Amino acid sequence: MSDAIEWVAVDWGTSNLRAWGMSVAGAPISSATSDKGMGKLERGQYPQALQDVVRELGVEDGRHLDVLVCGMAGARQGWIEAPYLEAPTDLRGLAQSSVRPDVPGSTLSVSILPGVCQKRGGENVMRGEETQLLGLASTQQGYEGLVCMPGTHSKWAYLRDTHIGQFSTAMTGEVFEVLRTHSVLRHSLTGENDGAARDAGFGTGASDGLARPQDLLGQLFRVRAASLLSGRDSSWCAGYLSGLLIGTEVAAHLDDIGEAAVPLIGSTSLCALYATVLSMAGKDGRPVDATSVAIAGLSAARQQLA
Amino acid sequence: MSDAIEWVAVDWGTSNLRAWGMSVAGAPISSATSDKGMGKLERGQYPQALQDVVRELGVEDGRHLDVLVCGMAGARQGWIEAPYLEAPTDLRGLAQSSVRPDVPGSTLSVSILPGVCQKRGGENVMRGEETQLLGLASTQQGYEGLVCMPGTHSKWAYLRDTHIGQFSTAMTGEVFEVLRTHSVLRHSLTGENDGAARDAGFGTGASDGLARPQDLLGQLFRVRAASLLSGRDSSWCAGYLSGLLIGTEVAAHLDDIGEAAVPLIGSTSLCALYATVLSMAGKDGRPVDATSVAIAGLSAARQQLA
């Protein structure tokens, strides 16, 4: 079975790393996950972390195999820096800008794809998402429009087939997390989890965010005031905060969304929330499986390398 | 000298408490500060904390004195709850809604002023700021328009003489602090403090915030991208974050600011930043000493009590 593995695809993020043993036809045969993300590794620890996860895929030590990596392993503070391509650019150029770390004593031949940066029209960076966008372009050929990638740092990118144009990063997930954990709002957010109250709070928050995105700093305090004055419980307040932030984020992009459904690349639960908010704003969102497009992007880049 | 103290004015906040020995003419004769704010006290500890600070004012134990308190001591989790007045309301009504905690064995006669809440048009609360607004109204009679009170939680209130109308709370200061301390942006904010670079960053951030207040979540990430891509130092980035947040906050209120200069009640340094941003937006701000209006407000409320 492992003989059928022709090459190894790796998405190496900040928190963890995921690897797939790929068939000659470009399909994943086996997969493995490790918690050895970029954030936890010194430079010298990458070869062993990779060797361990490749062994888990069912590959015996000593086999000569190509490994193609996207994500934070290519950051300056990662394994070896893969300098950014600058947007606007054709993502089919990712492969030829990949860098090859030295792996002494190993039979693995590793290439790391670059991220994409933007210098004009708002400085910005991405690492990992560009490979998912290439994967989306290869599975949905001819798409033109905004793509939304919800997460800790949501990316919004303009895609025309394999070309990436303007893109931006919304710190929505991280702002939610630091406010929930460290701000005065935490007093209103701790308690039982009641799904119905949370949904109701989410709807009210999303509606407020869509209506007055310019007043996020003011509307945030409603989380606290609603629990003090109206007896809203922690589930409602947590839903309100989540809805307010996502509503505010989506509102900033509405003018650039056309008729076509916006591809949403991220976790299933988060994409469902974004689809709800887009629909409240009269737009369509279409959840896309994040793992599938990551694999498709690595496969497309591999074809460029060949 | 302490015989001249006719009554005691107290501003009892979350972090500390400030007291003034007041003359019959309504001027402060002596002052004292303690770190025994509401956040550090159990209910039973308030009488002793007050007694200590009154002694520091130069008042001998056993004198019969009225003490008038504003601020968080009247919160539900404070000394004794002073239920909110509901806006819109006339702030001259604060005194008659004050509550009197029982202080066994003491010769101090204590009254605590209520805060103000808002239930229609956006739930909101304030405790302490309403007394400063009453003080502003008594020192600047006939003012009508927005008042801005910059701080951890900035308040913006519509004031017509002693009447408070719609008000809101912007969590600007606290959002700055949690992002600076706990988010990924912290990596770009730690280092030397260079005043010129900070001022330059502040100007760019304020300009971005004023121009696109609806995109705060997206513009926040520029702090990180600017340090990664453009080599901006930590001073520039800290200034940018501060300017971006204050610019965004001010932009949300521009439509409601008229020709008259907006009174700015807060710390000198923060009021100067807000005045700069208002001026970039073509408006005027006028810093007002926060301590003076707090004392003036307590004096005005005392006259209503008499």
pLDDT in tens, A224-253: 999 889 889 999 999 999 999 999 999 999
Residues A176 and A122 both lie in one domain: no
Q: Is the pLDDT of residue B26 over 90?
A: no
Residue range A283-299: mean pLDDT, rounded: 97
Sheet holding A17-22, edge to edge: A28-34, A17-22, A7-12, A65-71, A108-112
Q: Would you state the pLDDT for residue B64?
A: 94
The verdict on B123 and B150 lying in the same domain is no
Q: In whole angstroms, what is the distance from residue B252 CA to residue B249 CA?
A: 6
- Considering the domain architecture, whether residues B150 and B284 belong to the same structural domain is answered as yes
Shared domain for B92 and B46, answered yes or no, is yes
Q: How far is A49 from chain B (nearest CA, A)?
A: 25
Separation between Cα atoms, residue A163 and residue A134, nearest integer Å? 9
Whether A296 is covered by a domain: the verdict is: no
The pLDDT value recorded for residue B61 is: 87
* Interacting residues of A86 by C-beta distance below 8 A, sequence separation 6+: A116, A117, A118, A119
Q: Does B179 touch chain A (CB under 8 A)?
A: yes
Give me the pLDDT at residue B206, please: 98
Instruction: Point out which residues pair with B37 in neighbouring strands.
Output: none
Kindly report, residue by residue over A179-196, the tens digit of the pLDDT: 999 999 999 998 888 899
Whole-angstrom Cα distance, residue B237 to residue B22?
Answer: 45
Peptide bond before B287: cis, by omega within 30 degrees of 0? no
For residues A170-185, one letter each, b for 16 or more C-beta atoms within 10 angstroms of the residue's C-beta and e for the rest, the string is: bbbbbbbebbbebbbb
In chain A, the percentage of residues whose pLDDT exceeds 90 is: 90
Alpha carbon distances (Å) from A175 to A126, A171, B115: 18, 6, 29
Chain Cα centroid distance, residue A80 = 21
Average pLDDT over residues A286-299: 97
pLDDT at B92: 97
B117 touches A at CB < 8 Å:
yes
Model confidence at B263: pLDDT above 70? yes
Please tell me the total count of domains within chain B. 2
**Cβ pair B174:A184 closer than 8 A:** yes
Put simply, whether B70 touches A (Cβ < 8 Å) is no
pLDDT at residue A52, as a whole number: 95
B59 within 8 A of B1, measured Cβ to Cβ: no
| Residue B263 maps to a domain | yes
Which residues of chain A does B124 touch, with a Cβ-Cβ cutoff of 8 Å?
221-222, 225
Q: Looking at the domain assignment, is residue A190 inside a domain?
A: yes
* Count of pairs with CB atoms under 8 A, one residue in A, one in B: 136
Domain of residue A153: give its range.
Answer: 141-290
Q: Which of A58-62, A262-266, B271-275 has the lowest mean pLDDT?
A: A58-62
Whether residues A11 and A123 share a domain: the answer is yes
Mean pLDDT in residue range B30-59: 95
Judged by a CB distance cut-off of 8 A, whether residue B170 touches chain A is: yes
Closest CA to A246 of A200, A288, A278, A293: A278
| pLDDT on residue B2 | 64
Tell how far CA A248 is from the center of its chain.
Answer: 19
A170 Cα to chain B: minimum distance (Å): 4
Q: Do A178 and B174 touch (CB under 8 A)?
A: no
- CATH code of the domain covering residue B11: 3.30.420.300
Q: Measured between alpha carbons, how far is A190 from B180 in angstroms, rounded to an integer? A: 23
pLDDT of A273 higher than 70: yes
Contact B91, B162 (CB under 8 A): yes
A155: its two tokens: 């990316």
Q: What is the pLDDT of residues A82-122, one digit of tens each?
A: 999 999 999 999 999 999 999 988 999 999 999 999 998 88
Q: Is B200 found in the same domain as B164?
A: yes
- 3-class DSSP assignment, residue A44: helix
Q: How far is B76 from chain A, CA to nearest CA, in Å?
A: 10
Higher-pLDDT residue of A121, A222: A222
Other Cβ atoms less than 10 A from the Cβ of A70: the count is: 31
Contacts of A165 (CB under 8 A, 6+ apart): A87, A88, A157, A158, A159
Do A230 and A159 fall within a single domain? yes
Tell me, yes or no, whether A30 and A156 share the same domain: no
- Please give the residue of chain B at the shortest CA–CA distance from A212: B214
Secondary structure letter of residue A99 according to DSSP? B
Residue showing tokens 């409601």:
B256
User: Do the interacting molecules here have an ipTM over 0.90?
Assistant: yes
Mean pLDDT of A24-29: 90
| Chain A residues near residue B181 by CB distance under 8 angstroms | 182
CATH number at residue A157: 3.30.420.310
* The token pair that represents B65 in the structure block: 């004195």
**Contact between residue B9 and residue B128 where contact means Cβ atoms under 8 Å apart:** no
Identify whether residues B90 and B162 lie together within a single domain. no
Residues A124, B225: C-beta atoms closer than 8 Å = yes
Give chain A positions within 8 Å (CB) of B157: none
Tell me which residue in B117, B175, B212 faces A229 most closely, judged by beta carbons: B117
Residues A33 and A66 in one domain: yes
B138 belongs to a structural domain: no
Rg of chain A, C-alpha, whole Å? 21
Query: Which pLDDT value is given to residue A2?
Result: 64
A-chain residues near B151 (CB < 8 A): none
Does residue B226 form part of some domain? yes
Sequence-separated (6 or more) residues with CB below 8 Å from residue B87: B116, B117, B118, B164, B165, B166, B167
Residue B151 belongs to some domain of the structure: yes
> What's the token pair of residue B285?
């701000």
What pLDDT, on the 0 to 100 scale, is given for residue A1? 52
Q: How many CB atoms lie within 10 A of CB B5?
A: 21
